[in-house]
Structure 1
Amino acid sequence: MNITSTISIQINAPREKVWRAITDPATVAQWFFGTSVESDWEAGRPIVFRGEWQGQSYEDTGTIKKIEPGKLLQYTHLSSRTGQTDMPENYEIVNFQLSGDGGQTTLTVHEENLPSAEAREKSIGLWRMALENLKKTVEK
């Protein structure tokens, strides 16, 4: 069974500014719980997230699947904190979809292949906090 989650937020900023906030490492660290992200932002290339959560260091890995600047970022994601084996079937797929014109952007985060309903609920809660942080960061 493919367990998914979807959460959206309205941001009072143009898509280009929101896009920069999700792809610029310094800005990502501001809204995404201090996480550092490394990628060259090209399809087929790695993406790595490092940080500390609840006193534990982590390194999450994945591969960028699709990238359309200002519109779509899709990547695979495996968290070192889950203890899952590094196998393709254990990777989630994360999609950032941006839409809107002018000074308004709708950002939707959709995840696929979550390991359980419990993981889905945790994910929604974390994304809700992260997206509120992102909104505050971008709207400054």
Structure 2
Amino acid sequence: MTGYEAVAEVDIDAPVAQVWEVLTSPQKLKDLWFGAEVETDWQVGSPITWAGEWEGKPYQDKGEILAFEPGRLLKLTHFSPLTGQPDVPENYHTLTYELTGNTHLKLTQDNNATEEEAKHSQSMWESLVTKVKEAAEA
């Protein structure tokens, strides 16, 4: 993918296994993803969907699991019809969750068309990694 990257990072005072559970548990993901139901089997090559409601309108985002290394790396594609863009590969983002060291979480989203779009995405992902931190430390 191309374009500008959005990056959000946080240090979490919890074991890696606990953070990983927050990132992959359907119930915890619902809290992270603004109430969306997340469905996948976490197998590389499998689909992942997010179904929910945004501003009174139902939606279903979709993607594919690209990498799944428990406790270390989760990489997936993401497309939302809410963008108004056509459902074609160049309109997908890649989301990469990396866990390192003393439970440092880094989330990167590629393929933002402009610096402003990347900043908007970064703000949203900073909110999400903060929710991961809160859930893992609870």
Q: Normalising by structure 2, what TM-score? A: 0.92
Q: Which residue of 1 aligns with 2:104?
A: 106
Residues 48, 63 of structure 2: 8 Å contact kept: yes
| Aligned-residue offset at 1:55 | 3.1
How is 1:45-56 mapped onto 2 (pairs within 5 angstroms)?
45-56=46-57
The offset of 1:44, in angstroms, is: 0.5
In 2, distance between residues paired with 1:19 and 1:97?
Answer: 10
C-alpha distance in 2, partners of 1:13/1:75?
A: 24
Secondary structure at 2:5 match in 1: strand
Which 4+ runs in 1 deviate beyond 6 A? none
If the length of structure 1 is used for normalisation, what is the TM-score? 0.91
- Tell me how large the CA RMSD over aligned residues is: 1.4
Tell whether 2:27 aligns with 1:29.
no
Give the aligned length. Answer: 137
Give the conservation status (yes or no) of the 8 Å contact 1:96–1:107: yes
What amino acid does structure 2 have at the position aligned with 1:15?
Answer: V
Query: 2 CA distance for matches of 1:116 and 1:56?
Result: 26
Q: Determine the C-alpha separation between the residues in 2 that align with 1:56 and 1:131.
A: 25
Gaps of 5+ in 2: none
Secondary structure in 2 matching 1:111: strand
Find the residue that maps to 1:137 and give its secondary structure.
helix
Give the counterpart letter for 1:113 in structure 2: N
Find the counterpart in structure 2 of residue 75 from structure 1.
76
Q: Any stretches of 5+ residues in structure 1 without a counterpart? A: none
Structure 2 counterpart of 1:82, which letter?
T
